Amino acid sequence: MKRIVIFGAGGHAKAVIDAVEKQAEYEIVGLLDGGKAAGTHVYGYEVMGDDAWLLHNLDSIDGVIVAIGDNWRRSIVAEMIGKAAPGLPFVTAIHPSAQVARGARVGAGSVLMAGAVLGSDAELGEHGVLYPGSSVDHDSRAGRFVSLAPRAVTGGGVTIGDYTAVAIGASIIHGVAIGEHAVIGAGSTVIRDIPSYTVAYGSPAKPIRSREKGERYL
């Protein structure tokens, strides 16, 4: 069984731990998180330190997954790890109750939680997150560092740009394109294209304001 570390020790990391444990393909060596004291534990796994631990222990692990909920912060940590340890693989975590259809593609470092669905010939880019009960339907493409919160769903042929977050219970009808670095508000119904760097919500969803790269939304 491959030995991995999980980078992150917050609430999102707990959900990732659950998916990894139930997937039963990896042994979790421990957690890394610069914001928590080394020696503390989450679900029985020790916080061993921060990225410095990673650099000194590369020979003892086979992979890493970044368990940070915010898309932009997750990208910063993934980029840091990629530069510091270019040969270390990012692994995927797919809960056994998640469904990955024929022809679907899951990018390295991504997480599919309980009940998530990735439809036929759909794609989830690197380091994406499908939370419990979310669904990306057939022939859709969700880019890198995208997240769909619980019960967020798309129709077929939808495009979601890199770093975009789709909040709880939002629905995106077939064929719609959403740009990068956008945020779709909880419970929204998206029936037309949404530009990049836009916060949109409502039913139907409308652009409300612009947002900056890296602006917090959680």
Residues marked as binding for substrate?
A: 69
- The β-bridge partners of 46 are 41
Binding-site positions for acetyl-CoA read 168
Burial category of 174 from C-beta neighbours within 10 Å (exposed 0-12, middle 13-18, buried 19 and up): middle
Binding-site positions read 69, 168
Examine residue 150 and say whether the peptide bond preceding it is cis (omega within 30 degrees of 0).
no
Neighbouring C-alpha atoms within 13 Å toward the C-beta of 25: 11
Active-site annotation holds for 127: no
Residue 193: how many CB atoms within 10 A of its CB? 11
Beta carbons of 206 and 200 less than 8 angstroms apart: yes
Catalytic residue, from 12, 127, 138, 181: name it.
138
Q: Among candidates 94, 172, 179, 93, which has minimal Cα distance to 137?
A: 172
Look up residue 140 and give its two tokens: 């859709």
Beta carbons of 136 and 117 less than 8 angstroms apart: yes
Burial category of 161 from C-beta neighbours within 10 Å (exposed 0-12, middle 13-18, buried 19 and up): buried
Report the catalytic residues: 138
